[in-house]
């Protein structure tokens, strides 16, 4: 298998996840995949999505005695050495919280009695309980106001994302729609441009991009055949690194005159010319 | 079967317990098969190197055997082979729980994905594609994946499975009939893209494009609903 361009890679990742490659294609692609960590996130996303198809199977009756047969197999499994089952220290630390659920009560730590006694003594002073209650109420009201404002912003952003994603789904069903891949440079960041030249519509989907500070934004650029960047819209990503953008496709230029797409980080509001390095980039 | 200590743990926590082996077996767990195995020293007089409690695996098995088995039966059309494949997957999890990487998503998705791949391997190894095709057709393969009722299973079903089923069914309605058909032939029929092209009598390039667009559309729709990749 020759080296794949980003678009071919994207196609192969989908086919690989669905397990529709021939054995020799599969082996060759696995070798390329191992050298392209930026596509691992893509592969995981497809695998998780495909797993949801498994839930569509018709209900079946469980075979009698299957649990006992499973237990017999576990019994027959060879014992494992400590080296085989011991977890790295990092993993052990990570599970320390959930493990408190199964540990005996004696193994759990109690709060320090000294601190509790000091708190109780402070509240026992005349008037201090009312003062604390008033302060707490004020904090709660202020917190609720900020929470509400944040919620409204989130709702607006999600509504816009949902609308743009719906546009992308619609575009994928239109004849002449092309999908261009824009991988990150040795990172898991990844973008896809879904564009329809006839309709002059495009949607950019971004994955695994780092959220940026409030005075920054992501800006998408289309490059003409001479390499001149054309600003095509700004967007931000959510905490999971996902972002969507309704792309401003150049009205006077067919897709065949575009050579590449790229995303950079720019000051909030965007710039007419890129000033940052490309986060993702792909040749068309 | 499963010890009550584990029932409230999430799938991912159960796998962590399995892989870390931090849990010390309690007295009431000594009667579990693996613990009794340890007690008898496998009859050879030597102590096993590490005592492990099978409780976490039993909980996972109870939660997901039914769904995994249904998937395997659907693909393999052979209940005995389906049980064998599913139990083999759980045995692998017992022996190598570190093969699940939490960074790559939810345990249930990973498990179903592993079972699916194992079934396809088995199907291809036994060259049972022909009977697989017949099975698809016999069940009205043209659109069976959108006709499975939402509420087909008992209350013991893991909530995530029911949610996924309802959402993926909705997402599939966004695909065209031909896009749904190729996904069905690939996912449940175990066909490669060349086999699908031959089966449908269409150019390979057309089938490849159809698969890619169908998967992208499905993924977008599910992600828009907050499902799919997590």
Residue B150 has pLDDT above 70, yes or no: no
For residues B146-153, average pLDDT:
52
The ipTM (two decimal places) reads: 0.77
Strand segments (E) across A60-118: none
Q: What is the pLDDT of residue A121?
A: 57
- Interchain contact, A53 vs B50, CB within 8 Å: no
Q: What is the pLDDT of residue B202?
A: 95
Q: What is the pLDDT of residue B195?
A: 93
Q: What is the pLDDT of residue A102?
A: 28
Cα B88 to chain centroid distance, Å, stands at 12
Could you tell me the pTM of the whole model?
A: 0.60
- Count of CB atoms within 10 A of residue A120's CB? 9
Residue B62 has pLDDT above 90, yes or no: yes
Q: Which residues of B touch A67 (CB under 8 A)?
A: 1, 61-62, 65
| Cα dihedral sign, A43-A45-A50-A54 | positive
What are A178's strand-pairing partners? A195
Write the residue in A52, A59, A168 that is nearest to B152 by C-beta. A59
Spatial distance between the Cα atoms of A247 and A270, rounded to a whole number of angstroms: 14
Contacts of A254 (CB under 8 A, 6+ apart): A197
What residue ranges of chain A have pLDDT lower than 70? 1-2, 78-133, 135-137, 139-140, 143-162, 186
| Cα dihedral sign, B173-B176-B181-B182 | negative
Q: Which residues of B touch A166 (CB under 8 A)?
A: 224
**Helices of type H across A174-258:** none
- Interchain contact, A79 vs B49, CB within 8 Å: yes
Spatial distance between the Cα atoms of B16 and B122, rounded to a whole number of angstroms: 29
Spatial distance between the Cα atoms of A178 and A196, rounded to a whole number of angstroms: 6
| Between A32 and B39, residue with greater pLDDT | A32
What six digits make up the tokens of A153? 């912003």
- Interchain contact, A58 vs B220, CB within 8 Å: no
Spatial distance between the Cα atoms of A86 and A89, rounded to a whole number of angstroms: 9
Residue B1 has pLDDT above 90, yes or no: no
Q: What is the pLDDT of residue A152?
A: 65
Q: What is the pLDDT of residue B147?
A: 54
- Residue in B87, B121, B114, B85 with CA at minimum distance from that of residue B99: B114
Q: What is the pLDDT of residue B156?
A: 55
Q: What is the pLDDT of residue A221?
A: 93
Q: Is A209 exposed, middle or buried (0-12, 13-18, 19+ CB in 10 A)?
A: buried
- Residue in A211, A220, A263 with CA at minimum distance from that of residue A238: A211
Q: What percent of chain A has pLDDT over 70?
A: 69
Least confident of B39-43, B89-93, B162-166: B39-43
Write the residue in A56, A172, A242 that is nearest to B165 by C-beta. A56
For residues B123-137, average pLDDT:
54
């Amino acid at each position: 298998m020759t080296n794949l361009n980003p678009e071919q890679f994207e196609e192969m990742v989908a086919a690989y996840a669905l397990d529709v490659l021939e054995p020799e294609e599969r082996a060759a692609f696995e070798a390329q995949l191992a050298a392209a960590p930026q596509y691992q996130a893509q592969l995981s996303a497809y695998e998780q999505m495909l797993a949801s198809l498994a839930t569509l199977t018709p209900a079946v009756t469980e075979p009698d005695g299957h649990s006992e047969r499973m237990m017999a197999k576990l019994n027959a499994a060879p014992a494992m050495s400590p080296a085989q089952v011991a977890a790295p220290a990092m993993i052990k630390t990570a599970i320390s919280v959930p493990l408190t659920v199964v540990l005996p009560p004696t193994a759990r730590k109690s709060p320090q009695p000294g601190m509790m006694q000091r708190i109780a003594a402070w509240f026992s002073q005349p008037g201090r309980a009312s003062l604390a209650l008033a302060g707490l109420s004020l904090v709660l009201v202020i917190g609720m106001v900020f929470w509400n404002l944040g919620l409204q912003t989130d709702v607006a952003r999600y509504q816009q994302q949902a609308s743009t994603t719906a546009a992308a789904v619609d575009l994928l069903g239109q004849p002449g729609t092309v999908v261009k891949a824009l991988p990150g440079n040795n990172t898991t960041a990844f973008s896809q441009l879904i564009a329809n030249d006839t309709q002059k519509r495009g949607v950019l989907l971004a994955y695994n991009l780092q959220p940026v500070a409030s005075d920054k934004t992501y800006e998408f650029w289309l490059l003409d055949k001479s390499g001149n960047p054309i600003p095509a819209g700004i967007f931000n990503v959510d905490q999971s690194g996902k972002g969507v953008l309704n792309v401003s496709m150049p009205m006077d230029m067919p897709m065949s005159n575009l050579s590449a797409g790229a995303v950079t980080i720019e000051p909030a509001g965007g710039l007419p010319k890129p000033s940052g390095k490309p986060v993702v980039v792909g040749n068309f | 079967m499963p010890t009550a200590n584990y029932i409230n743990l999430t799938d991912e926590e159960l796998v962590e317990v399995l892989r870390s082996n931090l849990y010390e077996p309690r007295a009431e767990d000594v009667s579990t098969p693996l613990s009794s195995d340890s007690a008898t020293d496998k009859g050879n007089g030597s102590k096993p190197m590490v005592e492990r409690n099978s409780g976490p695996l039993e909980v996972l098995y109870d939660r997901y055997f039914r769904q995994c088995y249904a998937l395997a039966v659907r693909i393999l059309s052979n209940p005995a082979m389906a049980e064998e494949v599913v139990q083999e997957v759980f045995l692998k999890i017992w022996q190598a729980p570190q093969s699940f990487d939490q960074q790559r998503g939810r345990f249930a998705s990973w498990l179903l994905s592993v079972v699916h791949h194992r079934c396809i391997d088995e199907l291809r190894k036994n060259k049972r594609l022909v009977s697989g095709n017949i099975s698809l057709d016999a069940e009205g393969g043209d659109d069976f994946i959108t006709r499975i009722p939402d509420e087909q299973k008992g209350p013991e079903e893991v909530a995530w499975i029911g949610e996924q089923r309802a959402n993926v069914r909705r997402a599939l309605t966004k695909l065209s009939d031909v896009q749904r058909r190729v996904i069905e032939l690939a996912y449940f029929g175990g066909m490669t893209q060349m086999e699908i092209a031959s089966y449908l009598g269409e150019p390979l390039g057309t089938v490849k494009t159809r698969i890619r667009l169908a998967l992208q559309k499905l993924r977008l729709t599910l992600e828009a609903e907050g499902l799919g990749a997590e």
